Structure 1
Amino acid sequence: MTRISTSAAAQAALVDLMRSQRNVFEAQQQLTTGKIAPDLKGSGFRTESLAAAYGARDRAEGYRFSAERVGHKMEVTAIALDKLSEAATDLRVAMTAVDGTHIMSQAREAFEKARNALSTQHAGAYIFGGTRTDANPITANSLADLVAAPTAGDVFVNSSRRPAAKLDDQYTQETGLLADEVGTDLMAAFKRLAEYDAGVNGPFDGPLTDAQYTYLQGEIANVIAAFDGIADKVGENGALQSRVESIVNTQQKKADYLTGLIGDLEDIDMATAATRFQQAQTAVDVAAQTFSVLSQVSLLPFLR
């Protein structure tokens, strides 16, 4: 009976030792990772809340990233619109000159600036192409190409729809302007000037004739109207930029809040973890000593 009871006690002591070692391992993991459990499965009743919080945080960070990309595109759009506005201003100033040769020289430079602005790319895509981002939205490479086109609008090949990005569960934002929206009026002014230069009252070469002067004075108003139209698009883009910046901030705050919530649910109090580790280590020592003593118990001392 003594042998049987001693064996059972040793077996129980071994179980205690293994349990204590497991507790040491878990406490050490908590100290190392700072987490209550190494994965969601070990979070017990918190698992469902943690999974939901992680999902919500991932969505918020995804929306923030998308909004930041849209914001970067709008910054590039703003720069391109500024260049387009400069082109309109350059054309208007050129039309106030009294030398026809100078006017056409400046007009060609202004056209090239406008064309480059409308051909602006961001991340490999044409920003004024709409949903068609792989093709240059303006096909005219010179004033001669404008003259050859039936209308100024025919030199644009952008899509009719603006691209859009989902920036929240319930909100989708258009992310760009279209080349024909911002450039048709200005290209029409370039086209009329080039057609006049190639017509019966042209070319603009040397001092202006009375007819040329009268034409230019009337055309300046059209260029100013084109400039005003571009300015409206600058304002529209700026308003969208402000909205997108607000969305970026909102999604960042949401992600930060959810990160804190996740921490509350899964992070361990390090002081508590250290105390638990010390207690578990002490329990291992005691269990190891108990098992060692019991495993060496024998009837020999009583038989001597």
Structure 2
Amino acid sequence: MTRVSTSGNYSSVLTNLMSAQQRQMEASDQLSSGKIGTDLKAFSRNAQVLTAMQTLNTRLTGFTEQNAFTSNRLEMQDLALNKAAEAARMTRDALSNALAADRADALITELKGQFANAVGALNTRHAGKYLFAGGQVDTPPVSARQLSDLTLSPTAVADSFHNDDYIDKARVDETTTLEIGQLADDLGTPMFNAFRDLQAFEEGANGPFTGKLTAAQRTFLQSQIAVWETVQGDLTTAAARNGTVQGQLESVKRGLTARQNTVAGMIGDVSDADMAKAATALTQAQQAVQASSQVFLSLKNVSLLNVLQ
């Protein structure tokens, strides 16, 4: 005798239908996202490895973002240091031109302009902070505004600088810290002393520098050429030192990029779905859903009453 259980059949078919729908949804999600799953449960035994790699990738991303900011800062410092070195070169050239012409008609005007350029370079800001101020990033490191400020007192040059002794550093990866800061007084004191000497001579008994050079003025200017060559050389060296740090940072950035690419590949090996396999699974799940649906519909015509009739 055949036993007929309508409720049991419905329950079995419904279970199969729901299971097929779940497989269809999972396969569809994998095809649309390209990932095996959306949470750690989907990766079972690889979940711990995936978590560790994602943590590492987050840390590397943090270094990469910070290094981009540091790179911009170093580029700004390069511009400022080269501007200061150029001011020194132009000052030396102004002295040489005056000697060559044996006249100093425009000398002081040129010196004032180059002093302003030097002050502007040392007061350069990046992201709203003064680059050469040490830890006093909200205070301009140079307060002198004109050549005559340098001869107000014996300590006028030293009094013109307001940076502290803190030299900024940047941690660019887990094991590397670069010294990226330079200080206004270290950079500017020799230059300001040389400007002060020119201004003091201008204000002294053998000044001012106007018209044809006197013998005393010629001798003094000749002595200053070597001074300004040294000033320019020191500032060029400071710019080169900044360039060396830039090179080190670029090397670290390349290493971080390579590591990020490797980690991304490892994460993909764990989390990326096999698209061909997912497509096949979707097709099979769709077919199972259709088959279960058809069986479910056919049960409407199967009942114990039909048998008894």
Q: TM-score range by the shorter chain?
A: over 0.9
Judging changes above 3 Å, is the alpha-carbon distance between structure 1 residues 55 and 39 closer, same or farther for their aligned structure 2 residues?
same
Of 189-198 and 59-68, more deviation after overlay is shown by 59-68
Cα deviations by residue, 1:233-281 (Å, 9 ceiling, x for unpaired):
1211111110011111111111111111111111111111110001111
Structure 2 residue aligned with 1:181: 186
1:264 has 2:269 as partner: yes
1:292 has 2:304 as partner: no
Q: Which secondary structure state, in structure 2, belongs to the residue aligned with residue 133 of structure 1?
A: coil
Q: 1:77 offset after TM fit, Å?
A: 1.3
Of 227-236 and 152-161, more deviation after overlay is shown by 152-161
Judging changes above 3 Å, is the alpha-carbon distance between structure 1 residues 190 and 292 closer, same or farther for their aligned structure 2 residues?
same
- Partner residue of 2:248 out of 243, 252, 259: 243
Q: 1:295 offset after TM fit, Å?
A: 4.8
Structure 1 segment 31-180 matched on structure 2, within 5 A: 31-96=31-96, 97=98, 98-149=102-153, 150-180=155-185
Q: 1:131 offset after TM fit, Å?
A: 2.4
Structure 1 segment 193-204 matched on structure 2, within 5 A: 193-204=198-209
1:226 has 2:231 as partner: yes
Q: Which secondary structure state, in structure 2, belongs to the residue aligned with residue 173 of structure 1?
A: strand
- Partner residue of 1:278 out of 283, 288, 291: 283
Partners of 1:206 and 1:41 in 2: how far apart? Answer: 88
Q: 1:205 offset after TM fit, Å?
A: 2.2
Contact kept in structure 2, 1:61 and 1:252, CA below 8 Å: no
Q: 1:145 offset after TM fit, Å?
A: 1.2
Given residue 245 of structure 2, which amino acid in structure 1 is its aligned partner? L
Of 294-303 and 236-245, more deviation after overlay is shown by 294-303
Partners of 1:238 and 1:23 in 2: how far apart? Answer: 58
- The answer for unaligned runs of 5 or more in structure 2 is none
- The answer for unaligned runs of 5 or more in structure 1 is none
1:22 has 2:22 as partner: yes
Contact kept in structure 2, 1:132 and 1:159, CA below 8 Å: yes
Given residue 187 of structure 1, which amino acid in structure 2 is its aligned partner? F
Given residue 76 of structure 2, which amino acid in structure 1 is its aligned partner? V
Q: Which secondary structure state, in structure 2, belongs to the residue aligned with residue 268 of structure 1?
A: coil
CA RMSD of aligned residues (A): 1.9
Partners of 2:36 and 2:267 in 1: how far apart? Answer: 11
Partners of 2:194 and 2:220 in 1: how far apart? Answer: 12
Given residue 92 of structure 2, which amino acid in structure 1 is its aligned partner? R
Cα deviations by residue, 1:26-85 (Å, 9 ceiling, x for unpaired):
111111111100223322112111111111112112212222221121112112112111
Structure 2 residue aligned with 1:208: 213
Given residue 137 of structure 2, which amino acid in structure 1 is its aligned partner? T
Cα deviations by residue, 1:121-168 (Å, 9 ceiling, x for unpaired):
222222222222222111000001111251423211122112222211
Given residue 138 of structure 2, which amino acid in structure 1 is its aligned partner? D
Partners of 1:146 and 1:29 in 2: how far apart? Answer: 73
TM (norm. structure 2) is 0.92
Partners of 1:256 and 1:242 in 2: how far apart? Answer: 21
Q: Which secondary structure state, in structure 2, belongs to the residue aligned with residue 302 of structure 1?
A: helix
Q: 1:2 offset after TM fit, Å?
A: 6.9
Q: Which secondary structure state, in structure 2, belongs to the residue aligned with residue 202 of structure 1?
A: coil
Of 189-198 and 74-83, more deviation after overlay is shown by 74-83
Given residue 6 of structure 2, which amino acid in structure 1 is its aligned partner? T
Contact kept in structure 1, 2:4 and 2:303, CA below 8 Å: no
Judging changes above 3 Å, is the alpha-carbon distance between structure 1 residues 289 and 127 closer, same or farther for their aligned structure 2 residues?
same
Partners of 2:22 and 2:62 in 1: how far apart? Answer: 39
Of 203-212 and 102-111, more deviation after overlay is shown by 203-212
Of 286-295 and 261-270, more deviation after overlay is shown by 286-295
Q: 1:3 offset after TM fit, Å?
A: 7.1
Partners of 2:10 and 2:86 in 1: how far apart? Answer: 91
Identity of aligned residues (%): 37
